[in-house]
Amino acid sequence: MANIAKRSDGRWRARYRDAAGREHSRHFKRKLDAQNWLDSVTTAVTTGSYVDPRLSKITVGEWAPRWLATKVNLKPTTRVTYEILLNKHVLPAWGDTRLASVTHEGVAAWVAALEARGLSASSIRQTHRVFALLLGLAVRDGRLARNPAAGVPLPRAVRAEQVYLTHAQVDELANAAGESRHTAASLAIAAGANVKVVQTMLGHKSATMTLDLYGHLFENQLDEVADAMDAARAAADFLRTNGSVVDLATRKEASKSP
């Protein structure tokens, strides 16, 4: 049910009742304006795009936490990112604005302002996406007829320039890496690491592989082993020549006896 009536003050009142029986009205100075508004409402009801004006009176600041609460499938890091973008860029600009008052032109101007402030293209696109998702739920919830953030021009994200190595640079890099491994092995061996330790450190499949590559560095250790064996052999020869080993502590006690 819809009608237009002239009031005593000369203005025209257009009113209608929605599907739930609630009455809505607006006043206009001209009858033509009242009729145009009423026609637009009737068309919206007919096409299914009608929105109850009372539902869209909620502000963006009030709607944001309700929207975020529905995002149960977000990873913790993504949720934190959404919260940061909301608190830093969306709510300072739109927090006190009613959903019904958010316009396509207003969102486009906001995006341009973010770019003018020096925000990167990537950050602007992420921020706009959060706002668009927030408004998208308002559309699905019957609070907006359409998403005013849809189709807003966004700055292009500039890809970082790709850097490719030349064959010579690849060879230099490979040589530097090989030298680093050799240096590490050399220092470990010089510090006294045995073959098994060096094998494990370098990830070799066998100690034989390690010896094939670094056996020459173990020569000093072989000399030390040989010297130790020579010393042990000399001690054994001395004992055979001079008799059995005598406990020095026992000999000392014997010398004190009268």
pLDDT of residue 248: 47
Quick one: 71 and 130 in the same domain? yes
Closest CA to 59 of 14, 90, 16: 90
Q: Which of 105, 140, 175 is the last residue of a domain?
A: 140
Into how many domains does the chain fold? 3
pLDDT of residue 189: 78
pLDDT of residue 202: 84
Quick one: 41 and 67 in the same domain? no
> Which pTM value belongs to this model?
0.51
What CATH number is given to the structural domain containing 8?
Answer: 3.30.160
pLDDT of residue 245: 47
Q: List average pLDDT for each run of 10 residues in the chain, which is 258 residues long.
A: 82 77 80 79 62 80 96 92 95 95 96 94 94 95 91 84 77 78 80 81 83 69 57 65 53 52
Give the per-residue SS3 of the chain.
CEEEEECCCCCEEEEEECCCCCEEEEEECCHHHHHHHHHHHHHHHHHCCCCCCCHHHCEHHHHHHHHHHCCCCCCHHHHHHHHHHHHHHHHHHHCCCEHHHCCHHHHHHHHHHHHHCCCCHHHHHHHHHHHHHHHHHHHHCCCCCCCCCCCCCCCCCCCCCCCCCCHHHHHHHHHHHHHHHHHHHHHHHHCCCCHHHHHHHHCCCCHHHHHHHHHHHHHHHHHHHHHHHHHHHHHHHHHHHHCCCCCHHHHHHHHHCC
Closest CA to 134 of 181, 91, 101: 91
Quick one: 62 and 136 in the same domain? yes
Quick one: 37 and 111 in the same domain? no
Closest CA to 143 of 202, 58, 70, 227: 58
Q: In terms of residue numbers, what domain contains 195?
A: 167-238
Residues 6+ apart with CB under 8 A from 100: 53, 56, 57, 144
Residue 246 is assigned to a structural domain of this protein: no
Quick one: 136 and 175 in the same domain? no
Residue 145 is assigned to a structural domain of this protein: no
Quick one: 10 and 84 in the same domain? no
